[in-house]
Chain A
């Protein structure tokens, strides 16, 4: 059994616990053991790097240093924002030795900067992809709109992951899980992100445009890999529908939930019951 580190971040412990549940369930189904980093802290998210660069780097650096200290070489980071912060931090520290030393002094721990940081797509690609088709028992036979959001593939020069404006990795994995990914125009458009709380009207509009295009093109589900995207498209659906003046009820699934269903996990095992927009077709699985 392959052992990997796991950084859940705040979302996966709260509003999107079903993401964590499905990631762990899929990992288990493919004989991967994810071990949570002990004593982890906040990644800094959007707030920290807008306020203080050193603070932002130090928060993420502490997580990296802990992982290293606990003997991990690879860490799975399912949240797109956490993934972005950790990857960017490691990159920044590796390119500036003096900065790395300063941050190391702040967190009072050494950092080597050699950690492999994997998002869910990279995890699947690396450890699951070659066994995916043979493991699929109930193909996810639906038209899906793969929605990447803003952070998953950016900044490109650091992440070096997928194409910037028309990414493909999720589409490819969904296709191999038996789904039919649609071509659409909103793969990386903004969902409204943190305005979910302060300006719900903005989120209703931005997320609404995304949901509407997916629905117009016949998608039966939207597939995401980011807790923020999921909550905006799912939890804000009443406001979205109000903005669109139209009731759209296509569900929003994490990629790990969709793959989980395809490899024979039950809806409950991947936490489908936690969604606001009911996942109607789940009974077929």
Chain B
């Protein structure tokens, strides 16, 4: 026989202003199986909770219904109170009298009647509730960080420094990412490499970090705390155990005309190469698509010159499997080429560059050793034009969103140009200057006021070449859209930041959602910025949206903190509100017929097949099994199951019917 306690909260006046709480409590007291019913001004307060606890103890309650706010607000509060009084917390239910009743109705009889009905439903439900226990899941304390740019580096170091194991996977031959390509960084003009390369070395030398470069995630299985990652180690064709990184092979390689990815095509590299001198690891790989030996079967110069015999042409791709507990996605972004702005002549004119190419020109490690020179003829440009929003904020031709970093890097580019070419003239065409950030606006003002960069508010219509100059035609909208024509020697386009080409595929591999622009999606735009909607997978940096270095680093540390927090427990506690496939005594074993329709319906890959075996090991029956670590309790499988063999704990069919029947049996 049930002994249910009903506790009606006034929520100050939030509920009692339109609902007659005393009447609700009185009516609840008359319901079958209700042992005790009362109302109180603030049920969530300490005296309110004490009221519940005392009633449980004194009346020996077997279930509790709290008629108050949304369970999203205070269900944990009341369940905890029940548990403290010795009642299983899952025998406590909430009836939402605030959001579902008092806030949305006028004060009248019917509103109170509805409140009584809402309570009645939960009273009938809680009679069917079963005590449940939280699920414990073990945790593998090892994190996988995908991407070795500044985001991945920061996250990996933070996790490793907290004493946890990290595996870093980077698809390029070196870590460092886009930040290693940058010249100097806004707003302080720190040399990018000077602040980054020590951290790259730290990653390589950290005892808690295992670094796999030239590697990609092939496959990810499992669930929070218990992932299994398959990693493809792309064939480097060089045995890193033997290679000393002396670099002899790269100097002797006869294929020297391959556009360098690191220098954004402004410099050349060899087929066996390290991307840049400060690369980590500082050992080469062979780019098989451009290697004479792989393409034509002859050459092997690198093998001949290698003093340690490290070159191994027939090394295949290798696959390794790692058990990991959490994943941090830090795969970064890409720079959009300007195909959709043919009128700017990118690709047609050698001296029309992207911002990232200009970074390489301005970088001391770049193809011109930091001198600003035209790729076409090596001359120093005396007049340079920067075009902000080359693709960003342009729904007609480019992308509708703001790439966020371009205003700042364009100001920096113009500034660096003025610092390097003292008699040069620089112009920036812009829509708005978006310089939100500490010392950012001051930085832009410095470019304009101290360094004399000419800012023109307006768009550029076209660029065409005439007599070795680039005629930039635009409008100055602050001067009444006066047409402006500048004969420039070089043009730099602040192209949009876009997602990486492989982002979509990677997201699908990991069952992580992504947005319309193929950026990875955070779980909540404000309150869960580093989580994904898949438990145990976190993200940081520009793979979520274009962002600058400080923001990336902050986000990376945030993601690391989440991983460290997860790893601080030896077991994971999860709500037991999950689906279960029923099991019964032989010879039935389960009403599940093993059709596994539920398996296809499950959005979380939480259902697997299980073989029920006899004592002799023979398979008696195959049934579905829900993995409690993965199940999110959505209930899709319950709706799909043809033989009603799956039920949701806490929301069983029986409980749901009890609620409905309570309303119908007037």
* Structural contact, A165 and B462, CB atoms closer than 8 A: yes
Tell me if B59 is interfacial: C-beta within 8 Å of chain A.
no
CA of A183 to CA of B348 in the docked complex: distance in angstroms? 10
Known: A165-B461, A166-B342. A185 touches B396 (CB 8 A): no
The A contact surface, by secondary structure, is loop
CA of A184 to CA of B348 in the docked complex: distance in angstroms? 12
User: Most A CB atoms within 10 A — which of B343, B461, B465, B471?
Assistant: B343
* Structural contact, A185 and B462, CB atoms closer than 8 A: yes
Tell me if A163 is interfacial: C-beta within 8 Å of chain B.
yes
Tell me if A50 is interfacial: C-beta within 8 Å of chain B.
no
Tell me if B466 is interfacial: C-beta within 8 Å of chain A.
yes
Output the nearest chain B residue to A185 by Cβ-Cβ distance. Answer: B464
For chain A, the bracket of interface size reads 10 to 19
Residues in B whose Cβ lies below 8 Å from that of A163: 342
Q: Which of B449-496 contact A (CB under 8 A)?
A: 461-466, 471, 473
CA of A243 to CA of B267 in the docked complex: distance in angstroms? 46
Residues in A whose Cβ lies below 8 Å from that of B463: 185
Output the nearest chain B residue to A167 by Cβ-Cβ distance. Answer: B342
The B contact surface, by secondary structure, is strand
Q: Which of B334-368 contact A (CB under 8 A)?
A: 341-343, 348
> Nearest chain B CB to A93's CB is how many angstroms away?
23
0 or 1 for each of A210-229: is its CB under 8 Å from B? (1 = yes): 00010010000000000000
> Nearest chain B CB to A158's CB is how many angstroms away?
12
* Structural contact, A165 and B464, CB atoms closer than 8 A: no
> Nearest chain B CB to A219's CB is how many angstroms away?
14
* Structural contact, A185 and B471, CB atoms closer than 8 A: yes
Q: Which of A166-191 contact B (CB under 8 A)?
A: 166, 183-186
> Nearest chain A CB to B340's CB is how many angstroms away?
9
Output the nearest chain A residue to B340 by Cβ-Cβ distance. Answer: A163
* Structural contact, B396 and A165, CB atoms closer than 8 A: no
Output the nearest chain A residue to B471 by Cβ-Cβ distance. Answer: A185
Residues in B whose Cβ lies below 8 Å from that of A156: 396
Known: A183-B348, A185-B471. A166 touches B396 (CB 8 A): no
Tell me if A284 is interfacial: C-beta within 8 Å of chain B.
no
Residues in B whose Cβ lies below 8 Å from that of A157: 396
CA of A269 to CA of B547 in the docked complex: distance in angstroms? 63
Cβ-defined partner of B343 (8 Å) among A166, A184, A216: A166
* Structural contact, A165 and B348, CB atoms closer than 8 A: no
Residues in B whose Cβ lies below 8 Å from that of A166: 342-343, 462
* Structural contact, B466 and A165, CB atoms closer than 8 A: no
Q: Which of B250-278 contact A (CB under 8 A)?
A: none
Residues in B whose Cβ lies below 8 Å from that of A216: 466
CA of A186 to CA of B397 in the docked complex: distance in angstroms? 20
Q: Which of A141-156 contact B (CB under 8 A)?
A: 156
* Structural contact, B466 and A185, CB atoms closer than 8 A: yes
> Nearest chain A CB to B89's CB is how many angstroms away?
58
CA of A186 to CA of B465 in the docked complex: distance in angstroms? 11
Output the nearest chain A residue to B462 by Cβ-Cβ distance. Answer: A165
Cβ-defined partner of B342 (8 Å) among A165, A184, A185, A213: A165
> Nearest chain B CB to A161's CB is how many angstroms away?
15
Residues in B whose Cβ lies below 8 Å from that of A165: 341-343, 461-462
> Nearest chain B CB to A222's CB is how many angstroms away?
16
> Nearest chain B CB to A153's CB is how many angstroms away?
12
CA of A216 to CA of B465 in the docked complex: distance in angstroms? 12
CA of A16 to CA of B473 in the docked complex: distance in angstroms? 32
CA of A157 to CA of B396 in the docked complex: distance in angstroms? 8
Q: Which of A57-110 contact B (CB under 8 A)?
A: none
Residues in A whose Cβ lies below 8 Å from that of B466: 185, 213, 216
* Structural contact, B464 and A184, CB atoms closer than 8 A: yes
Q: Which of B268-298 contact A (CB under 8 A)?
A: none
> Nearest chain A CB to B458's CB is how many angstroms away?
15
0 or 1 for each of A241-272: is its CB under 8 Å from B? (1 = yes): 00000000000000000000000000000000
Residues in B whose Cβ lies below 8 Å from that of A186: 464
Residues in B whose Cβ lies below 8 Å from that of A164: 343, 397
Output the nearest chain A residue to B397 by Cβ-Cβ distance. Answer: A164
> Nearest chain B CB to A43's CB is how many angstroms away?
26
Residues in B whose Cβ lies below 8 Å from that of A213: 466
CA of A184 to CA of B467 in the docked complex: distance in angstroms? 12
Residues in A whose Cβ lies below 8 Å from that of B461: 165
CA of A226 to CA of B461 in the docked complex: distance in angstroms? 22
Output the nearest chain B residue to A184 by Cβ-Cβ distance. Answer: B464
0 or 1 for each of B590-602: is its CB under 8 Å from A? (1 = yes): 0000000000000
CA of A10 to CA of B463 in the docked complex: distance in angstroms? 35
Q: Which of B303-357 contact A (CB under 8 A)?
A: 341-343, 348
CA of A165 to CA of B471 in the docked complex: distance in angstroms? 15
CA of A216 to CA of B343 in the docked complex: distance in angstroms? 20
Residues in A whose Cβ lies below 8 Å from that of B473: 185
CA of A164 to CA of B341 in the docked complex: distance in angstroms? 9
CA of A66 to CA of B530 in the docked complex: distance in angstroms? 62
CA of A33 to CA of B341 in the docked complex: distance in angstroms? 39
CA of A70 to CA of B641 in the docked complex: distance in angstroms? 62
Residues in A whose Cβ lies below 8 Å from that of B465: 183, 185
A-B contact pairs, 16 of them (CB 8 A): A157-B396, A163-B342, A164-B343, A164-B397, A165-B461, A166-B342, A166-B462, A183-B464, A183-B465, A184-B464, A185-B463, A185-B464, A185-B465, A185-B466, A185-B471, A216-B466
* Leading 10 A-B pairs by shortest Cβ distance: A185-B464, A165-B343, A166-B342, A166-B343, A163-B342, A165-B462, A185-B471, A185-B462, A184-B464, A165-B342
Seed contacts A183-B465, A185-B465; 19 additional CB < 8 Å A-B pairs: A156-B396, A157-B396, A164-B397, A165-B341, A165-B342, A165-B343, A165-B461, A166-B343, A166-B462, A183-B464, A184-B464, A185-B462, A185-B463, A185-B464, A185-B466, A185-B471, A185-B473, A186-B464, A213-B466
